[in-house]
């Protein structure tokens, strides 16, 4: 791991401080850093002057050689610096997406199915819960007892709703991928925008 620092102006007391960052994480070499990702500690700045605590997103590449994937958090919009390799690459834009993507890839879940499912959940939520703001939907792990994937819907009124995608439904959607060559095109940004575009281009459950 390359350990480095970046200057940061504390938003509370306005003093200039030094923030220790991890721009590159090789999880097989530094397995202890994984916890720091999931609890966001590697993105947490605590001001030594005033104690202010904030999360700071910065360019960070995560490599898992055992599971053959890389997830790059790119905060400045420029993805040219992301090195290509033989690993499956995913580019994300926020800390929450970074954490979620690593969890999905580690669990061997097809993130394309997850993003499509989230759009279906969004539609369902808007229909059933009119007037409640939906802030985001995040993967919450596998529930082997109930043979399903768990999702958390974060709402504007601070209420967290749980949703599940059964392994059976997941498999049904997965099968449809085989008949849609467009879906398997190389793309490293699999997110909400990708899912909307894919659904608009004709991929749907009833087609």
Which residues of this protein are in contact with Zn ion, per CB under 5 A? Answer: 10, 12-13, 47, 49-50, 52
Is residue 153 a contact partner of residue 163, using CB atoms and an 8 Å limit? yes
Q: Which is nearer to Zn ion, 52 or 143 (CB)?
A: 52
Q: Which is nearer to Zn ion, 52 or 122 (CB)?
A: 52
Convert 185-197 to b/e letters by CB count within 10 Å (16 or more is b).
eeebebbeebbee
CB of 59 to Zn ion, least distance (A): 23
CB of 14 to Zn ion, least distance (A): 7
Per DSSP, what are the bridge partners of residue 163? 151
- 200 membership: H or E segment, kind and range: helix 192-200
CB of 16 to Zn ion, least distance (A): 10
CB of 136 to Zn ion, least distance (A): 28
Q: Which is nearer to Zn ion, 13 or 193 (CB)?
A: 13
147 Cβ contact list (under 8 Å, min separation 6): 166, 167, 168
Q: Which is nearer to Zn ion, 10 or 149 (CB)?
A: 10
């Amino acid at each position: 791991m390359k350990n480095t620092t970046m200057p940061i102006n504390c938003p509370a007391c306005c003093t200039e401080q030094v923030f220790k960052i991890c721009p590159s994480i090789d999880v097989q070499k530094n397995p202890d850093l994984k916890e720091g990702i999931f609890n966001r500690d590697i993105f947490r700045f605590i001001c030594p002057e005033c104690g202010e605590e904030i999360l700071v997103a910065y360019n960070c590449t995560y490599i898992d050689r055992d599971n053959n994937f890389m997830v790059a958090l790119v905060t400045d919009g420029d993805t040219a610096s992301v090195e290509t390799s033989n690993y499956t690459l995913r580019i994300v834009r926020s800390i929450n997406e970074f954490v979620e993507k690593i969890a999905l890839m580690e669990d061997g879940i097809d993130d394309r199915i997850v993003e499509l499912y989230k759009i279906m959940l969004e539609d369902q939520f808007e229909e059933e819960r009119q007037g409640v703001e939906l802030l985001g939907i995040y993967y919450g792990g596998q529930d082997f007892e109930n043979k399903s994937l768990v999702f958390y819907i974060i709402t504007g009124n601070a209420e967290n709703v749980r949703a599940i995608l059964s392994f059976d439904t997941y498999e049904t959607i997965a099968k449809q991928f085989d008949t849609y060559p467009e879906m398997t095109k190389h793309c490293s940004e699999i997110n909400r925008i990708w899912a909307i575009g894919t659904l608009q281009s004709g991929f749907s459950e009833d087609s």
